[in-house]
Amino acid sequence: EKRILEEGRHSTEEYSKSVEDILEVLKCPSLCSGNGECVEWGCACSPGFSSYDCSDSHDKAPEIIELENAGFCNIR
């Protein structure tokens, strides 16, 4: 994905192909993480997976990696 976005294209044919590659990357990030199929509207996740890129497994608890405001909230 990064390579496709960073590579420069010079000819019209290469530019057109590059745009198609970029749109595919944006539509299906990480190629649906290997847990789904890239379709017209984005990732169609396999059973047991979810998220925009099919990276969340229903079998695994989410991992909290950071808390804003040191874990305090301002809602009463």
Paired tokens of 7 = 């590579």
pLDDT digit string, tens, across residues 49-68? 999 999 999 998 878 888 88
Range of the domain at 56: 2-71
pLDDT at 46: 98
pLDDT digit string, tens, across residues 30-52? 999 999 999 989 999 999 999 99
76: in domain: no
Q: Go through the chain and tell me how many residues it has.
A: 76
Residue 12: which H helix or E strand, with range?
Answer: helix 12-27
24: in domain: yes
How many domains are contained in the chain? 1
Q: What is the pTM of this model?
A: 0.56
Please give the radius of gyration of the chain, using alpha carbons only, rounded to the nearest integer.
18
